[in-house]
Amino acid sequence: MKSRVALLCFLLVAGTIAFGQTPATIEKTEISGISEDSLSAPLRADLQKLVGQNYDEKAAAQIAERIHAELPDYVVTSTTAASTQPGRIVLVFAVAHNINAKYIVESVDLKGTEKSKLSEALWTDMQKMVGHPVDDASADQLRERMAAEIKGSHSRRSVERGSDPQHVRIVYESVSQSSANFSGSGGYHSRQKFSGRANVAYTFYDFVGVRVDGFNDASTLMERYAGYRYGAWTEYKRVRFNAEYSSFRAQWSPGTLQAASATGTSADLYRLRDTIDPSAKITISSGFHVTLGFTASQLQIQVPTSHYESVRTANGNADYKFYLSSSEKHQFSGSYDIRVAGDALGGSATFTRHLFDQNYEWNLKKPAPGTRFTPDGHQIDFNVRLGRITGAAPMFERFSLGDTSRLVGWNKYDISPLGASRMAYGEVTYTNRYISTFFESGSLWNDGQTRVLRNSIGGNLLLGNILHAPTAMRIILNAARPGIGVPLQKNNVHPIFTLGGNI
Amino acid sequence: MRTTGIHLRSGFHIGISCLVISMLLWPGLLSAQTVSVKLEGEQLRVSVSQLHFLGSEVLQRLRNGIAVNYVFKVGFTPNRYSKPATVTSYRFVISYDIFEEKFAVSRIEPNPRSITHLSESAAQMWCLDSIAIPSGGLPADQPFWVNLEYQTVEPKPATTETGESLIGQLIDVFSRKAQREEARGTVMGGPFSLTDLRKTR
């Protein structure tokens, strides 16, 4: 009974507030997108009659319909913009071919360039769009002026949702016709030591590109490998052709050497690995790609005598990514990868490798745009990876867990020093502005062996954000991500310390 | 290197992987476009099943709030290989409401009209349903083919630099072409004959 009375009181108060609001007075009416002269005289007169009257959504919709009747090829919508005086509004009829003309510009932003690269006049003209409905013609004119001012690049424009309802942001992006990038990443694992990768890439018009990578990596595979990789790609419509050549020298851990010796598989351990890897990536839709390729590797093996063996695989990969809703709060992504080696392709290895990787990302609070290296949102990630190899795969195809990014509390050489042909792994991660914490669970085993499930917990610090460091230093400190992984077992609990992440 | 003898299984797996890849591409293989023609009064109404002219690149632009202009040209030819003597053009502007996530289409010419709150497939359907051409010039008993071309067109630049040299303008024109590939396509269907179409009306 009490709750019903409370509900009734609430409804009465809410109703009083709702009905008590005074409708805003129309200060003036505007037509955007076309000249007012395009309308008939009676319609223009009726538009003027609205000035000084209280805003009525129905009356505005009727006028919009009359404009549409006179200009049937245009989309006509009425919208209101704030006036300089309180209690007054500007009634705008957006007449345009672009439906987004009904939204009011909240801000005009730049991406890929800086305000200092534009003339003051252009920046001022861009800012003049704020507070008005989106006008494609004017916005495109400004894009052309921007392209003329920033030589050697082309400009794109996009309209994005603003922070207020019915308000949008216009974003001008400057994309270089050709670009050279240098990037690097690295990680440290207290048992496996440092891993690093440096990359130089040159791209021409998003159409063709070349790159060179240098590696010294103990994290990704069972071996520490060091060397280089050259790559070139070209893109035509939905297909991206890619070709890579790599040459790596392998270094094996004492644990792996000992295990290989004990099992009589020392002949599986190669010293050099050279690979040619052509592939074609086909874009089926913006969120779904299929990649087909072929890999030919030549391995220099020293046991029993120095000789070469080749491994050739046909590769297929399908990857997808989609959001469950337009708010982009829930994202599903994943891939399925298959590699097949056999007689038909030549080579001395015969195996099939399947890897199934699925990810769900729940953005409790979405990071602000442009904060990739300085994240400030709240996010929960679920990741599942399942792998299976049938046949005898070379060491670089075998699965491992226990590195800087997966099953961090463990050392892969302790779990399975020769890798494994079966893998099951799951991870839950929570990340916010300052910290990332995770729980991981995984198992590696070979066909016929018993499965041992290993768990670990851990976390990483986003030091740059914690220390509120200046931007450049913040990016470096956040990338360093000092972390700890603790194996969940009763005895012999030795935490693993890490820096960086997946390279 | 251990090479346990399971070569037959490996061959089987290669076959399976080819099958999986083929299945992944299967929708593309199945989506053959078929042109059909219907006579409505003296108008020939052209429809194309499975024609998804909004490609991924165009959809990306639309979802970025940019309106995209399309021109459809439809014409008749006496056989599959000749070019149509006369073509009828249809111009559309398609846009995507970034809040409501619905498409809007404006037909600029002929017979201006516009429509809003459409799904992606409905927007494409509305454009194609608009395409009708007079059958007046067609011989009643001779077979004909229908040629439908579509392409996106960039809106003309709003400003022209009057002081710029011819070479400068040429560089500008060529660089602009390189920036964005037009989305275009052609579908052809036939042979049709007016006599048959009148019978099935």
Q: Are A189 and A111 part of one and the same domain?
A: no
Q: Do A348 and B25 touch (CB under 8 A)?
A: no
Nearest to A100 among B6, B28, B97 (CB): B97
Nearest to B3 among A73, A75, A350 (CB): A350
Average pLDDT over residues B178-196: 74
Q: Give B-chain residues touching A292 at CB under 8 angstroms.
A: 21
Q: Do B2 and A137 touch (CB under 8 A)?
A: no
Q: Do A299 and B158 touch (CB under 8 A)?
A: no
Whether the full predicted model's pTM is greater than 0.90, yes or no, is no
H/E run at residue A158: strand A153-161
Confidence of residue B4 (pLDDT cuts 50, 70, 90): very low
A394 touches chain B (CB under 8 A): yes
Q: Is residue A396 assigned to a domain?
A: yes
Q: Which residue from A minimizes the CA distance to B14?
A: A340
Lowest-pLDDT range, A412-426, B120-134, B157-171?
Answer: B157-171
Confidence of residue B21 (pLDDT cuts 50, 70, 90): low
What was the pLDDT predicted at A75?
84
* Last residue of one domain, picked from the residues A79, A99, A119: A99
Q: Do B95 and A343 touch (CB under 8 A)?
A: no
| Pairwise CA distance, residues A322 & A327, whole Å | 12
What is the number of other CB atoms lying within 10 angstroms of the CB of residue A343? Answer: 12
Q: Do B2 and A97 touch (CB under 8 A)?
A: no
Q: Is residue A16 assigned to a domain?
A: no
A103 touches chain B (CB under 8 A): yes
Min Cα–Cα distance to chain B from A21, Å = 27
Q: Are A84 and A111 part of one and the same domain?
A: no
Q: Are A162 and A221 part of one and the same domain?
A: no
Min Cα–Cα distance to chain A from B188, Å = 22
Q: Which of A337, A446, A343, A312 has the alpha carbon at shortest distance from A390?
A: A446
Q: Is residue A10 assigned to a domain?
A: no
Min Cα–Cα distance to chain A from B181, Å = 8
What was the pLDDT predicted at A262?
93
Q: Are A389 and A467 part of one and the same domain?
A: yes
Kindly list the distances between the CA atom of residue B10 and the CA atoms of A354, A422, B2, in Å, as whole numbers in the listed order: 13, 18, 14
Q: Are A259 and A388 part of one and the same domain?
A: yes
Number of domains in chain A: 3
Q: Do A154 and B159 touch (CB under 8 A)?
A: no
Q: Do A74 and B59 touch (CB under 8 A)?
A: no
A405 touches chain B (CB under 8 A): no
Task: Estimate to the nearest angstrom the gap between the alpha carbon of A428 and the chain centroid.
Answer: 18
A72 touches chain B (CB under 8 A): yes
Q: Give A-chain residues touching B181 at CB under 8 angstroms.
A: 237
Q: Do B161 and A148 touch (CB under 8 A)?
A: yes
Q: Is residue A11 assigned to a domain?
A: no
Residues 280-299 of A with CB under 8 A from B: 282-286, 290, 292, 299
In a mutagenesis test of the A interface, which of B7, B13, B30 is the best target, namely the one with the most A β-carbons within 10 Å? B13
pLDDT tens digits for range A85-101? 888 888 888 888 899 98
Q: Do A74 and B106 touch (CB under 8 A)?
A: yes
What would the two tokens of residue A122 be? 């252009």
- Between residues B21 and B153, the one the model is more confident about: B153
What was the pLDDT predicted at A478?
85
A341 touches chain B (CB under 8 A): yes
Average pLDDT per 10 consecutive residues for chain A, totaling 503 residues: 49 44 80 85 89 88 89 84 82 88 91 83 92 89 88 84 88 82 89 93 85 95 96 88 97 94 91 96 88 96 90 96 79 96 89 97 70 67 96 95 93 94 96 92 94 95 88 83 93 90 61
Q: Is residue A6 assigned to a domain?
A: no
Min Cα–Cα distance to chain B from A476, Å = 32
| Pairwise CA distance, residues A220 & A227, whole Å | 14
| Pairwise CA distance, residues A90 & A224, whole Å | 67
Residue range(s) defining the domain that contains residue A120: 103-176
Domain CATH code at residue A158: 3.10.20.310
Length of chain B: 201
What was the pLDDT predicted at A327?
66
Q: Are A254 and A371 part of one and the same domain?
A: yes
Confidence of residue B29 (pLDDT cuts 50, 70, 90): very low
Q: Are A128 and A114 part of one and the same domain?
A: yes
Q: Are A195 and A332 part of one and the same domain?
A: yes
Q: Is residue A370 assigned to a domain?
A: yes
Task: Estimate to the nearest angstrom the gap between the alpha carbon of A275 and the chain centroid.
Answer: 29
Q: Are A109 and A220 part of one and the same domain?
A: no
Min Cα–Cα distance to chain A from B200, Å = 34
| Pairwise CA distance, residues A157 & A418, whole Å | 52
Q: Do B98 and A316 touch (CB under 8 A)?
A: no
A70 touches chain B (CB under 8 A): no
Nearest to B159 among A73, A141, A344 (CB): A141
Q: What percent of chain B has pLDDT over 70?
A: 69
Q: Do A268 and B114 touch (CB under 8 A)?
A: no
Q: Is residue A1 assigned to a domain?
A: no
Contact in structure between B75 and B85 (CB atoms under 8 Å) = yes
| Pairwise CA distance, residues A224 & A262, whole Å | 21
Q: Are A244 and A302 part of one and the same domain?
A: yes
Domain CATH code at residue A285: 2.40.160.50
* Last residue of one domain, picked from the residues A99, A117, A150: A99
Q: Are A315 and A372 part of one and the same domain?
A: yes
* Last residue of one domain, picked from the residues A99, A132, A149: A99
pLDDT reading at B45 higher than 50: yes
Q: Do B64 and A158 touch (CB under 8 A)?
A: yes
Q: Give B-chain residues touching A165 at CB under 8 angstroms.
A: 99
| Pairwise CA distance, residues A186 & A191, whole Å | 15
Q: Do A168 and B179 touch (CB under 8 A)?
A: no
Q: Which residue from B minimizes the CA distance to A347?
A: B3
Nearest to A316 among B1, B17, B99 (CB): B17
What would the two tokens of residue B117 be? 């709150």
Q: Is residue A160 assigned to a domain?
A: yes
Q: Give A-chain residues touching B108 at CB under 8 angstroms.
A: 73, 97
Contact in structure between B148 and B131 (CB atoms under 8 Å) = yes
Q: Are A116 and A82 part of one and the same domain?
A: no
Q: Which residue from A minimizes the CA distance to B94?
A: A98
**Which residues are paired to A104 by β-bridges?**
A133, A167
| Pairwise CA distance, residues A107 & A103, whole Å | 12
Q: Do A97 and B108 touch (CB under 8 A)?
A: yes
Residue A150 identity: I
